[in-house]
Structure 1
Amino acid sequence: KQREANEQDAQIAGQLSVLIGLVLLESAEANEQLQGLQRISGELSPEVKDSLSRFLLNPTLNPEVAKVAQRELDAITRSLMYWGIGQDLFFGLSLGSVLLLAAIGLAITFGVMGVINMAHGEFIMLGAYTTFVIQQWIPATSVWSLLISIPAAFLVSGFAGIILERLVIRHLYGRPLETLLATFVISLILQQLVRTIFGPLNQSVVTPDVLSGALDINAAFSVTYNRLFVIGFALSVLIALWSVMQRTSFGMRVRAVTMNRGMASSMGIQTRRMDALAFGLGSGIAGMAGVALSQLTNVGPNLGQSYIIDSFMVVVFGGVGNLFGTVVAAFSLGVANKVLEPFSGAVLAKILILVFIVLFIQKRPRGLFALKGRAVED
């Protein structure tokens, strides 16, 4: 108690108070036990909860003390549940941000050209490996390695997307099955190419010092800086993309081609050129999704496979070609996935979401927000 009184650091003083409270619970005197309960009141650490649970098992416990202890235990359990839901929501928002970045690019290519690009996940992988390569040249702990990786990943994946559109997809328009098979083969080729260059094992991307650690709100809830960065990064990309699509001539032409390709062509818009540029834009955004993913997980040749199905689910659920629908769908599915995981497990949670989307699409084939314009008739 003397150490607690002399301690200047409020956090350390609070920890000392909790420790003293736990020691007082071991006392045989009811008054000291009540003092201990008062000290640990509101503390959400698992150690305090376990100590209270053991404390209530004492058969000789004073009824008044037992009543207070049970009330404190119930309050801690209830608070842990609420803060746990908050933690799941935060993780869901970060997952939704990754899905948003992955699906935005797919929404552009799928919405403009109607192309089912099974190699979209590999563009995410290329962006992640670009981050890994940049860190071999710039100190990994420096924030500059991450800042340089973002435009570099956009250029690498975007250029690869334009090449894919020019050499393969352009010759398969109007043939969805052949396009699907061709892009699937391209995805396998890209995976094997990465295995040949970097090896089959996962590579670790170091998080810059500024994004390491977490802001601990309490013992049950913390905000990790890398996930907070991913959320902010996704929103920044979304705002930038919205500005491009709404405020620039390029964006207006893309939207014109999306809504009515024939009319856009008759107005002088080079639809084939817009296809290549839109495909490059969508692929470049997928590359930036790889940069974000590299801050959350290891980088490997199969990284993109984990997100291609989720990306298609987001696009279809939100409404093909609808940017706002993609945003709503990405965050909804991300939060739903993380909320279900504690109860059903990761695999079953994904299955439940997939079943829900299948049932939803049967009732509403155009998604949450249907695309307006002549493209709806197509």
Structure 2
Amino acid sequence: MLRLLMLLFLLMAPQAHAQDAFSELLPGLTGGFAQQAETVERLGALGDPRALPLLRALGDTRLLRGPDGTVIVSPGQPPPGSDVIRINNRVRGALRGALGRLQLGSPDPEERLRAAEAILRNRSADDIPILEAALGRETDARIRDRLALALGGARLAAADPASKRIGILALGRSTSPEARALLLQERIATPDLATDIDTAIASIDQRLALRRAAETAFQGLSLGSVLMLAALGLAVTFGVMGIINMAHGEFVMLGAYTTFVVQELCRDIPWLSPWSLPLAVPAAFMVTALIGAAMERGLIRFLYGRPLETLLLTFGVGMVLQQVVRLTFGAQNREVISPPWMQGTLVLPGEITITQNRAWIILFALFVLLATLAAIRLTRFGLEMRAVVQNRRIAATMGIRTGRVDAMTFAFGSGIAGLAGVALSQIDNVSPNLGTGYIIDSFMVVVFGGVGSLMGTLIGAFSLGIFNKLLEPYAGVVLAKVAVLVAIMIFIQRRPKGLFALKGRAADQ
């Protein structure tokens, strides 16, 4: 049995009576291409829900002309004697606009959004009443913005100068580059309204400049948060202990690989897989802290007071760690998938777009900073660490085990570097060279902010991040970094101890 669903819309005989507006338009679909395009546009403007399946079938070549002059929508094999109604590109353009008008009342938000986009691409003054009605009942902010833009474009297509001016004013309140492009087109087509259009374009340019400034500031904060995470551990090991740890970047890399391992372990456990990233945070801290403690007890403690030897030793340890990771995981990049709540973008008021993963990293960086401050200021470990920094001999005579404090301090700084690796795994490639690109920037942040000052690390990281992003559009990525480095060199010449000078063993050396 032939499976065929036929929807009979109208007998096209001339003697048909009691036809409504919808029925009267249907014969035009079987005419020439120009008549088809005009009929499609009129059906879309009519707003009759019966036109939606009909026009979809026309676009999918499922609209047939029956042997008795009827119009048939068929999803299957055409019946004997029927012909497919052919269309050309002009009719397809008219279909996009007409379908957009009819889909504005759909319960599906994505379909309504596509409808608004279609109307925007096929602007017509006939769409003004439809768009006004759709805008009045729409509750989704994203769709309302597109409808408002489409309505402004439809008013520009009107012949009435007053309607054009209303459209110009409406588009002038937008922050969309598309609104600016529509106004530029209208300025060429309607020179008489050039003054109004120029005013609207200037208003849009001002809002776009503010939006770009806000997005640049966010990018600077994002870069600053990454720099702060990478430099925070170094501020403890270098700033407090006076150890130039050239393997600090490798500890960041180990934190990223720990994140990868935790994700792989959780991959086959469905209920645990979404929590792989939160579980990686304490795991990365513990792994890098233990390696840091072993490194301090086994190697570094014999080289206190010998900075050159310490620098060479830690550089060698970093090379060893890189090779161990290459032998274990391979030299290729490893993929760390962000959880769903870190994916996608957020659109803030003013159409400012930010990525969710970088927003979470900013919050994570501030959380790590507060946790570090709390550990140093509110715990016994922090008290003993500050005592050893201020005066090692007096601290030892009071019963503080300075060697144990040194090991714990270095482990603490290394653990923070591991946390930086967790964050970087969400925005960078996890590879053996991951931390190499951040070691120089980390030292710059620590020196600029003030050796051993966590507050200086915070201000220094965000200042350098924002300054770097402000320069990039004008100087490029490489020259911006060079300019930042030169600026820090000049600053250190004037203020050798950085923004916030710290008293203690590291500052006195």
Aligned residue in 1 for 2:201 = 73
Aligned residue in 2 for 1:83 = 211
Aligned residue in 2 for 1:162 = 293
Per-residue deviation at 1:169? 1.3
Per-residue deviation at 1:2? 4.2
2:240 counterpart SS class: helix
Per-residue deviation at 1:165? 1.2
**Greater mean deviation of Cα atoms: 24-33 or 230-239:** 24-33
Cα distance in 2, alignment partners of residues 360 and 219 from structure 1: 36
Is 2:429 the counterpart of 1:298? yes
Per-residue CA distance 1:114-172 (angstroms, 9 max, x = gap): 11001101111111111111111224995411110000000111111112112221222
Aligned mate of 1:178, from 306, 309, 326 = 309
Aligned residue in 2 for 1:61 = 191
Cα distance in 2, alignment partners of residues 373 and 290 from structure 1: 29
Aligned mate of 2:343, from 189, 197, 212 = 212
Contact 2:249 2:436 in 1 (8 A): yes
Aligned residue in 1 for 2:247 = 119
Aligned mate of 1:48, from 179, 184, 196 = 179
One-letter amino acid of the structure 1 residue matched with residue 234 of structure 2: L
Aligned residue in 2 for 1:326 = 457
Aligned mate of 1:104, from 218, 229, 232 = 232
Higher RCO, Cα 8 Å, sep 6+: 1
Per-residue CA distance 1:29-58 (angstroms, 9 max, x = gap): 423321321332322222222222333344
Aligned residue in 1 for 2:73 = none
Cα distance in 1, alignment partners of residues 332 and 178 from structure 2: 38
Cα distance in 2, alignment partners of residues 329 and 316 from structure 1: 9
Contact 1:84 1:220 in 2 (8 A): no
What TM-score comes out, normalization by structure 2 length? 0.70
Per-residue deviation at 1:84? 0.9
Percent of aligned positions with the same letter in both sequences? 50
Aligned residue in 2 for 1:265 = 396
Aligned residue in 2 for 1:196 = 327
Aligned residue in 1 for 2:282 = 151
What TM-score comes out, normalization by structure 1 length? 0.94
One-letter amino acid of the structure 2 residue matched with residue 193 of structure 1: V
Per-residue CA distance 1:280-331 (angstroms, 9 max, x = gap): 0000000001111112222111110111111101111111111111111111
Cα distance in 2, alignment partners of residues 360 and 181 from structure 1: 27
Rate the CA distance shift 1:114–1:221 in 2: closer, same or farther, 3 A.
same
Contact 1:260 1:375 in 2 (8 A): no
Structure of higher CA gyration radius: 2
**Greater mean deviation of Cα atoms: 37-46 or 312-321:** 37-46
One-letter amino acid of the structure 2 residue matched with residue 85 of structure 1: A
Rate the CA distance shift 1:361–1:245 in 2: closer, same or farther, 3 A.
same
Gap regions ≥5 residues in structure 2? 1-127
Rate the CA distance shift 1:131–1:376 in 2: closer, same or farther, 3 A.
closer
Of Structure 1 and Structure 2, which has the larger fraction of its residues in helix? 1
Contact 1:112 1:257 in 2 (8 A): no
One-letter amino acid of the structure 2 residue matched with residue 118 of structure 1: M
Contact 1:158 1:283 in 2 (8 A): yes
Contact 1:259 1:375 in 2 (8 A): no
Is 2:358 the counterpart of 1:227? yes
Gap regions ≥5 residues in structure 1? none
**Greater mean deviation of Cα atoms: 279-288 or 8-17:** 8-17
One-letter amino acid of the structure 1 residue matched with residue 162 of structure 2: N
One-letter amino acid of the structure 2 residue matched with residue 362 of structure 1: Q
Cα distance in 2, alignment partners of residues 3 and 25 from structure 1: 15
Contact 2:169 2:200 in 1 (8 A): no
Per-residue deviation at 1:204? 2.0
Is 2:138 the counterpart of 1:9? yes
Cα distance in 2, alignment partners of residues 220 and 18 from structure 1: 13
Aligned residue in 1 for 2:407 = 276
Per-residue CA distance 1:177-220 (angstroms, 9 max, x = gap): 11111111111111122122222222221110111122212575
1:286 counterpart SS class: helix
Aligned mate of 2:263, from 135, 148, 158 = 135
One-letter amino acid of the structure 1 residue matched with residue 437 of structure 2: S
Coordinate RMSD, CA, aligned: 1.9
Per-residue deviation at 1:90? 1.2
**Greater mean deviation of Cα atoms: 47-56 or 94-103:** 47-56
Per-residue deviation at 1:69? 0.9
Aligned residues: 375
Rate the CA distance shift 1:195–1:301 in 2: closer, same or farther, 3 A.
same
